[in-house]
Amino acid sequence: MKIIALFFLILINFQAYAKASFIHVIKSERRLFIMDENQQVIRTFKVMLGMNPVGKKVQEGDNKTPEGQYILDYANRNSKYHLAFHISYPSSEDTKYAKSLGVKPGGAIMLHGFPNQLKEIEVFLKLNNLFGLDENYVRERLHDFDWTNGCIAVSDEEIREIDQLIKLPIKIIIDP
């Protein structure tokens, strides 16, 4: 009986990988959609964005989340943010545009879970009067804010679910 259950668990995971064709993020809706090859939604997640979420990322330190087509190209399972998937920002176009403005485009943009230690987002916590409060309370409240430096965040449970639904590399489209 255990072997049959294990077989079905493996089959379900295989089917999830086979179905997930790309990821679509709509920043204005704060939603991430796991999409299949027929452009049907497999699963939807609420996301948190960069602290300055309107507009596309132009330069390092602008706290904006990029917009455009990228690739989730590798996982960082030892990230400061529970689990993280690297987004291939900046593209050559992003780099060219930033250079035309005389700025650096930035990088290290990820799709990730919550910070393992809240000290990673201390500046945000202080700006929003959350610093020094009960950690569980703060973690519950993070869903209500755009708190990253330009990344896309979901809860720890959700990033683990995404990990089960996708196979790297996978396209990610980030729309305004």
Looking at the structure of the chain, the number of domains it has is 1
- pLDDT at position 2 is 58
- pLDDT at position 49 is 98
- pLDDT at position 137 is 96
- pLDDT at position 6 is 47
Query: What pLDDT digit, counting tens, does each position of 65-83 carry?
Result: 999 999 999 999 999 999 9
Encoded tokens for 101: 């403005």
Residues with pLDDT less than 70, the chain: 1-18
**Residue span of the structural domain in which 109 resides:** 2-175
Gap between the Cα atoms of 163 and 45, Å rounded: 13
- pLDDT at position 11 is 47
**What's the CATH code of the domain at 77?**
2.40.440.10
- Note the pTM of the prediction, 2 decimals: 0.89
Contacts of 139 (CB under 8 A, 6+ apart): 114, 118
Gap between the Cα atoms of 13 and 25, Å rounded: 23
